[in-house]
Amino acid sequence: MYKILKADKLAANIYRMVVDAPRVAKHCQPGQFIIVKLDEKGERIPLTICDYDREKGTVTIVFQPIGESTTEMAQLQTGDAFEDFVGPLGQPSEFVTEDLEELKKKRILFVAGGVGTAPVYPQVKWLHEHGVTADAIIGAKTKDLVILEKEFEEVCNLYVTTDDGSYKRKGMVTQTIKDLVEEGKQYDVCVAIGPMIMMKFVCLLTKELGIHTIVSMNPIMVDGTGMCGACRLTVGGEVKFACVDGPEFDGHLVDFDQAMKRQQMYKTEEGRAVLKAKEGDTHHGGCGICGGDK
Amino acid sequence: MTRFTRTPITYQDPEKRIHNFDEVCLGYTKEEAIKEAKRCIQCKNPTCVPLCPVNIDIPGFIKAIAEEDFKKAAETLAEYSALPAVCGRVCPQEDQCEKTCILGKKGEPIAIGKLERFAADWALEQGLSLGKTKEPNGHKVAVIGSGPAGVTCAGELAKAGYEVKIFEALHEPGGVLVYGIPEFRLPADDIVQVEIENLKKLGVEIETNVIVGRTITVDEIFDEGYEAIFIGSGAGLPIFMNIPGENLNGVFSANEFLTRNNLMKAFRSDMDTPIKVGNKVAVVGGGNVAMDAARTAKRLGAEVHVVYRRTEEELPAREEEVENAMEEGIIFDFLTNPVEILGDDKGWVRGIKCVKMELGEPDASGRRRPIPIEGSEFEFEVDSVIMALGTSPNPLIPRTTEGLNTDERNRIKLVSEKGQTSREGIFAGGDNVTGSATVILAMGAGKEAAKSIDEYIKSKATNI
Ligand SMILES: Cc1cc2nc3c(=O)[nH]c(=O)nc-3n(C[C@H](O)[C@H](O)[C@H](O)COP(=O)(O)OP(=O)(O)OC[C@H]3O[C@@H](n4cnc5c(N)ncnc54)[C@H](O)[C@@H]3O)c2cc1C
Ligand SMILES: Cc1cc2nc3c(=O)[nH]c(=O)nc-3n(C[C@H](O)[C@H](O)[C@H](O)COP(=O)(O)OP(=O)(O)OC[C@H]3O[C@@H](n4cnc5c(N)ncnc54)[C@H](O)[C@@H]3O)c2cc1C
Ligand code: SF4
Ligand code: SF4
Ligand code: FES
Ligand SMILES: [Mg+2]
């Protein structure tokens, strides 16, 4: 069993849990994910690693209830435990293995949408700890859904935008990217994490702007070890398994339309109803572009 | 003529069994087993034994059954095999022990597998723990993977007095025996779980949710004080055909389909993992995996076609599975090969385009090579397609372990017959060395490696 040492809420419908998982904490790197299973009947749910503490042996996850399993998971409290918690899975972010001196020369922009803000955090934090200060954009639908703002401010130059303009900048993340570039900012790399539709539109823009872009894909998964192929997607015309080859890929090469269709595979009528009900107040991704996982 | 006729065995009625996941073959009763065992003429130079990959004393255990000494039969089996209840069910007997049974010349060979299953099930029911365990010798060995290779290796070492720990990537031990082979062929709770429990009774510890190469490295396992490591990580990566349409919604690897159904028990409505199969399914392939996928899809309510590019003759699946599948109403489209999977505008499978094949000259495998017949393309409607084309070993462990050599197909290279890899202290066996093979071969490899590990540790230590 993997004990939940702390469970709290970052915003309406965004939950954070700190889990006791020493083996995972010892090895995980930014960009990787874990798979959690609630109990005997549970399914295997992939979630990005949002923070870790190697000394304490803990791993932090942040998630949004969108279907049955994540809704059930949101009921868990501090002191409860997961039956299974396995990882780290997938490849670490590219920069982890890059030459640090080269990396320091790079101008990096992070673009985080909705619950995707959480997985961006370990990346900007890692860079900050290694002497690299990046720019980051957090996009949310409205003021109450902006998460981890303080944590981000400590480790990067932060720009916050809300769809409705209720907090800081107004408009979607792509607008802020345009604004920053117009203000004269230049970037070598963009890392975009959020709902697929947001990543797709960010990629369309950065391609125009000529900024190399990395995205973190979240297809449907089962084992997460390369055994089932459920997570396959097309990148640059080749079939890749997101769980072993990714989850991060060159966003300009990803076939987003196919990936978005594949994500709908188990979308049942019931699932759709759940999503619709939830979207009312949270907006599935919070990117400001999509109007939900449609 | 009874000497030449096999004692019939009971199967669940096909009409009923296509609606449940209960075991299809019900096994021999005591009386039937004794009757069948008495048919064996107890050859002085048995022709059955050499074809069993672990050379079980077949006349020996059969004699014990004939004499109604089931305990002795089970003990005899235990000397050679760690998983007789499994092998009795899933060995391709018609190509192994039963192929050369002398009675097969004039009539039907002895039902060696069914008798093995009978004796093993009897022992499981009695809760017998077979085989002696030596005093703990204070030495530690780690095993990676809990399929038949890993489980056998761990069991043998534990009996020899070693402290053994298995690291398993999934949340449940058993390897293909739990995630691949369906309940209706090999009941997970009654057979596999009981075998795993027996292993634990021998003192073997199993840590699940540990992916070696990610959660921990091989070198860190050595750092934890293990003196030798056995890698039994199987051949888990599914192969696709690389034809257009393979990423459409509704195309699955057999591994995904079977894992959802078997490991995650998606067929049960109280389980959270979903499974979708639709009304009409094409399963591509002709091996055991294809039969398992097809029969599972049937039980989930679909009309099932097995699409195979050769003929019934060449089907690599076990004979019994093919027979059972046919009885269950699986439709076989032989000499047929998919060239494209057709989709609708929403990205879902709507059909499959195939080409007719004919058999040409024998290829490297000795089987006649299938050649497409020009202009014979045709389409038929299906809701899903399951690709059962085989698997290859996962390269994760070799990639994260310095000095562990593999061949061009990611199979771990051995430097000796007995499981020694290119790196000292590391042994391997099973599907990760051979490519996808059989349970009994994986078991045999695990057993051989256990012997080598014992010798290796003894050669290094002075206190055993
Ligand atoms: C590598 C990876 C990392 C992830 N990281 C996070 C994370 O940090 N935080 C987080 O909240 N979520 C994350 N996800 C998504 C998360 O796994 C899904 O939201 C979850 O599995 C849904 O389970 P459910 O049973 O609640 O919903 P389901 O009932 O299974 O699904 C509800 C609906 O959501 C859609 N859906 C199913 N799977 C996914 C998916 N993988 N992504 C998006 N939509 C899906 C389906 O179409 C379905 O209709 C990640 C996914 C992957 C693959
Ligand atoms: C559907 C299906 C039906 C089959 N039917 C038959 C049959 O009827 N008869 C027959 O003889 N054979 C059959 N086979 C083949 C047989 O099951 C295999 O040959 C056999 O299971 C191989 O055993 P193994 O121990 O080498 O590997 P596996 O059974 O594959 O076990 C490997 C284990 O290692 C684990 N693992 C992998 N990587 C890691 C890692 N990095 N860290 C930790 N753990 C890891 C896996 O999760 C798995 O549990 C079938 C196979 C399939 C898929
Ligand atoms: S292990 Fe397999 S091959 Fe050997 S005797 Fe038993 S059924 Fe036959
Ligand atoms: S060859 Fe057949 S008859 Fe002879 S010992 Fe073996 S099983 Fe018995
Ligand atoms: S999730 Fe099964 S291969 Fe990626
Ligand atoms: Mg679900």
pLDDT band at A291 (very low <50, low <70, confident <90, very high): very low
Mark which residues 160-189 of A lie under 8 Å from B by CB. Answer: none
Q: How many CA atoms lie within 13 A of B415 on its CB side?
A: 11
Domain boundaries defined on chain B: 10-126, 140-236+392-460, 240-389
The closest residue, in CA terms, to atom 27 on ligand 2 is B234
Measure CB to CB from residue B209 to each of A85, A227, A258 and give the nearest one: A85
pLDDT band at B463 (very low <50, low <70, confident <90, very high): low
**Inter-chain CB proximity A268 and B255 less than 8 Å:** no
What is the C-alpha to C-alpha distance for residues A69 and A42, in angstroms, rounded to an integer? 7
The pLDDT of B68-91, averaged and rounded, is 94
pLDDT at residue number B96: 94
Q: Chain A: nearest CA to B210, how far in angstroms?
A: 7
The closest residue, in CA terms, to atom 3 on ligand 5 is A226
pLDDT at residue number A285: 37
Model confidence, pTM: 0.92
Examine domains B140-236+392-460 and B240-389 and report if their fold is the same.
Answer: yes
* Residue B245: φ, ψ to 5°: 90, 5
**Inter-chain CB proximity B215 and A84 less than 8 Å:** no
**Inter-chain CB proximity B216 and A23 less than 8 Å:** yes
Q: Does A243 touch chain B (CB under 8 A)?
A: no
Q: What is the ipTM of this complex?
A: 0.91
pLDDT band at A95 (very low <50, low <70, confident <90, very high): confident
* Residue B100: φ, ψ to 5°: -110, 10
Cα(B80) to centroid of ligand 3, in Å? 10
Q: Is the pLDDT of residue A43 over 50?
A: yes
Cα(B440) to centroid of ligand 3, in Å? 7
CATH topology of domain B140-236+392-460: FAD/NAD(P)-binding domain (3.50.50)
The pLDDT of B339-345, averaged and rounded, is 95
Cα(B251) to centroid of ligand 5, in Å? 14
Q: Does A39 touch chain B (CB under 8 A)?
A: no
Check if the beta carbon of residue B200 is closer than 8 Å to that of residue B88.
Answer: no
What is the C-alpha to C-alpha distance for residues B270 and B267, in angstroms, rounded to an integer? 9
Instruction: Kindly list the distances between the CA atom of residue B325 and the CA atoms of A36, B17, B229, B321, in Å, as whole numbers in the listed order.
Output: 36, 11, 40, 6
CATH number assigned to the domain covering B10-126: 1.10.1060.10
User: What is the share, in percent, of chain A residues with pLDDT greater than 90?
Assistant: 78
| Length of chain B counted residue by residue | 464
pLDDT band at A265 (very low <50, low <70, confident <90, very high): confident
Cα(B272) to centroid of ligand 1, in Å? 13
CATH topology of domain B240-389: FAD/NAD(P)-binding domain (3.50.50)
Check if the beta carbon of residue A215 is closer than 8 Å to that of residue A248.
Answer: yes
**Token pair of B116 as six digits:** 């093995």
CATH number assigned to the domain covering A92-215: 3.40.50.80
Which chain A residue's Cα is nearest to B258? Answer: A228
Tens digit of each residue's pLDDT (9 = 90 or more) over B150-160: 999 999 999 99
Mark which residues 99-158 of A lie under 8 Å from B by CB. Answer: none
Which chain B residue's Cα is nearest to A40? Answer: B271
The pLDDT of B342-357, averaged and rounded, is 95
CB atoms within 10 A of CB B443: 31
Domain boundaries defined on chain A: 1-87, 92-215
pLDDT at residue number A268: 61
Average pLDDT, chain A: 89
CB pairs under 8 A between A and B: 106
CATH topology of domain A1-87: Elongation Factor Tu (Ef-tu); domain 3 (2.40.30)
Tens digit of each residue's pLDDT (9 = 90 or more) over B405-453: 999 999 999 998 889 999 999 999 999 999 999 999 999 999 999 999 9
- Tell which residue, B314, B235, B234, B281, has the closest CA to residue B387: B281
pLDDT at residue number B464: 55
pLDDT at residue number B131: 66
**Token pair of B165 as six digits:** 């720990």
